[in-house]
Amino acid sequence: MRATITSIAHWVPEDVYPNSFFEKYLDTSHEWIFTRTGISERRFLKEGGTSDMIVPAAKECMAKRGVKPEEIDCVIVATVTPDHFFPSTAAIVQRKLGLKNAWGYDISAACSSFLFSLTTAVKLVESGACKKVLLCGADKMSSIMDFQDRATAVLFGDGAGCALIEASNDESMGFIDSILHIDGEGEPYLHMKAGGSVKPASEETVRNREHYIFQDGQNVFKAAVKGMADVSLEMMEKHNLTADDIAWLVPHQANLRIISATSDRMRLDPSKVMINIDKYGNTTAATIPICLSEWHKAGKLHKGDKLILSSFGAGYTWGAIYFVWNMND
């Protein structure tokens, strides 16, 4: 049995923060941010947590497919910004949506969370363990951003995307394959210093601003350019795909230069690359489902389109998924 995405939706906060917002109090400029990253603006959630962005996206996702909350048998939340350490955000989403017949859990793989959790959800459906998995990729990055650190504050945004994973009605379409990687040698370059079990929160950790994203941008950049391109090419080679075969590259949106380096190495025409980093910044687990949802809504994704989903993030974690889209326009 093959599994597929049967419905998709996204939700982003209304409040837009253009690059000029940061120019007011950080030593930065629209010019620097836009040329180095491709970001023009991002959305931040003022009130509430990650689950509050998932709920409207999930409701739209289920409504589009005519699925009732009690039909969902598993809910997975991909996030690095859970509402709380525990219970899982999946449990909170289960309660808020009334998914009374579901079990579920959170997955943490930073910017690769959506690819890791899509693979997991697909395997649950393919094995027969679940029929309808509600897969949510969401992050409130503004809750872990140091607004005094120009090197990271300008990069991220908040948002959510949800997909329904069910058995495919066509064995030739849906999730075909994934190649996923994890390498803990990446920890020094991208992490949060305190708040976990190694260094619990204290007055000192708060004073030292250790509860925010720490990133050595250049190291992550180099690893991301290589990781995303290598794994995307490996997937193409494994399935004998040429650039002409691929309808869309759906890349994680961390930096336009990383995306361009990946698509260049794949020899893809830039018109075949989903890009919305200019509007949302890096929404971590939400970037890929937001792309898919926006492109589907705009009628730019067609049944039979061959997609390569590709990501790189903290861990390090990275991977690629080969997916044949089989929803109608």
Q: Could you list the residues that contact ligand ACO (CB under 6 A)?
A: 28, 32-33, 36-37, 110-111, 150-151, 154, 190, 217-218, 220-221, 224, 254-255, 258, 282, 284, 313-314
**Beta strand residue intervals within 168-232, DSSP E:** 174-182, 190-192, 213-215
Nearer to ligand ACO, 89 or 255 (CB): 255
Q: How far apart are CA 139 and CA 43, in angstroms?
A: 11
Nearer to ligand ACO, 34 or 105 (CB): 34
Q: For residue 179, give both structure tokens.
A: 């190649």
Catalytic positions are 111, 252, 282
Nearer to ligand ACO, 101 or 119 (CB): 119
Nearer to ligand ACO, 141 or 179 (CB): 141
Cβ proximity of 173 and 328 under 8 Å: no
DSSP string, 112-136: GHHHHHHHHHHHHHHTTS-S-EEEE
Match 């698509």 to its residue by tokens: 263
Instruction: Give the residue among 282, 285, 152, 284 at the shortest CA–CA distance from 209.
Output: 152
Q: Which helix (H) or strand (E) holds 43?
A: strand 41-43
Query: Cβ 116 to ligand ACO, closest distance in Å?
Result: 12
Q: For residue 240, give both structure tokens.
A: 């004998």
Nearer to ligand ACO, 192 or 247 (CB): 192
Nearer to ligand ACO, 168 or 255 (CB): 255
Q: How far apart are CA 146 and CA 158, in angstroms?
A: 14
Cβ proximity of 141 and 157 under 8 Å: yes
Q: How far apart are CA 147 and CA 46, in angstroms?
A: 14
Phi, psi for 148 (deg, rounded to 5): -100, -5
Q: Which helix (H) or strand (E) holds 164?
A: strand 158-167
Nearer to ligand ACO, 16 or 192 (CB): 192
Instruction: Give the residue among 251, 282, 312 at the shortest CA–CA distance from 112.
Output: 312
Cβ proximity of 4 and 165 under 8 Å: yes
Amino acid 69 reads P
Amino acid 53 reads M
